[in-house]
Amino acid sequence: MHISKNIIRRVSRPLAHGLLAGVTILVIASCGLFYLWSSAREAQLDAVRNELAQLARVAATLVNGDLHKMLVADSLRWWADD
C-alpha cells in the first residue's frame, strides 16, 4: 500500500507541474491576444473617426446654406403647428 501511494505521488507531481505550466502559458498567451485585439480595435475606430470627419468636411462643402436654412425653417414651422 505504501508503494502505490509513493507512485501516485511521483506521477501527480509532474502532472501538477505540467498543468501549472500549461495554465501559465495559456494565461500569458491570452493576455497577449487581448492586447493585440484591443490595439487593433482602437486603430480601427480611429480610422473610422478620421474617415467620417473627412466625409463630413466634404459634405459640408456641397450643402447649399440658403436652401438648408429654408428647409430647417419649414420643418420648424411644421413642428410648431402640432
Per-residue confidence (pLDDT) for residue 77, from 0 to 100: 72
Q: What angle do CA 26, 31, 34 make, to 5 degrees?
A: 120
Cα–Cα distance between 79 and 40 in angstroms, integer? 44
**pLDDT band at 2, cuts 50/70/90?**
low
Query: What are the grid coordinates assigned to 69, written together?
Result: 436654412
pLDDT digits over 6-64, tens only? Answer: 666 666 778 888 989 999 999 999 999 999 999 999 999 999 999 999 999 999 899 88
Q: Measured in Å, how far apart are the chain's first and last C-alpha atoms?
A: 92
Of 36, 13, 51, residue with least CA distance to 5: 13
Residue 41 CB burial class (10 angstroms; 0-12, 13-18, ≥19) = exposed
